[in-house]
Amino acid sequence: MEKTNLIGLPQDKAKKLAEKLNELLADYSIFYQNTRGYHWNIKGEKFFELHLKFEELYNDLLLKIDEIAERILTLGHTPGNNYSDYFKISSIKESKNVSDGIGAVEQILNAFKTVIVKQREILTMAGDAHDEGTIALMSDYIRFQEKQVWMYSSFLK
């Protein structure tokens, strides 16, 4: 008989989901800090517009970081919590000294692509595990972020 965790999911599938969610947590943490840097260092003609947009974005990322960590805990596992580990497993790389609005938006779009692709992977894994909680979380993120991609892409045109 298959062993299940406290919320009734197969332990082996919950462990794999938690591992992939920890990768996503690392991605979000680097994405968050990069966005703080864009917010702080942005210069130029679109300063006021982008300064506010970047603040909106990093506030949203911070909420998602907490939700992902809590989902990992709900699955019965431990979320990572230090940048030295995040740097090792994140698919998003640390940005440095970005003050150009176009460059910042391009990096944001690349980060969105990275997390959306990973979230789709997690969505598939969660479906296989019948993990409705993770499915709902990933679906909500993907829907919101696809719109964000459209909006940020429109800025570049």
Q: 10 Å Cβ neighbour count for 122?
A: 26
Are 7 and 74 a contacting pair, CB within 8 Å? yes
Nearest to 33 by CA among 91, 88, 83, 99: 83
The answer to whether residue 1 scores a pLDDT higher than 60 is no
Give the model's confidence band at 157: pLDDT under 50 very low, under 70 low, under 90 confident, else very high: confident
Q: Where are the domains of the chain?
A: 11-156
Share of the chain residues as helix, strand and coil, in percent rounded to the nearest 5: 75, 5, 20
| CB distance 22 to 79 below 8 Å | yes
Torsion sign over Cα 37, 39, 40, 44? positive
Separation between Cα atoms, residue 75 and residue 15, nearest integer Å: 8
**pLDDT single digits (tens) 46-79:** 999 999 999 999 999 999 999 999 999 999 999 9
- The pLDDT-based confidence of 2 (bands split at 50, 70, 90) is confident
> What is the distance between the alpha carbons of residues 8 and 49, in angstroms, rounded to a whole number?
46
CATH number 3.40.50.2300 is the correct assignment for the domain at 11-156: no
Instruction: State yes or no: pLDDT of 89 exceeds 90.
Output: yes
pLDDT tens figures, 113-134: 999 999 999 999 999 999 999 9
Mean of the pLDDT values across residues 123-150? 98
Q: What SS3 state is found at 63?
A: helix
* 105/73 Cα distance (integer angstroms): 32
pLDDT tens for 6-60 read 999 999 999 999 999 999 999 999 999 999 999 999 999 999 999 999 999 999 9
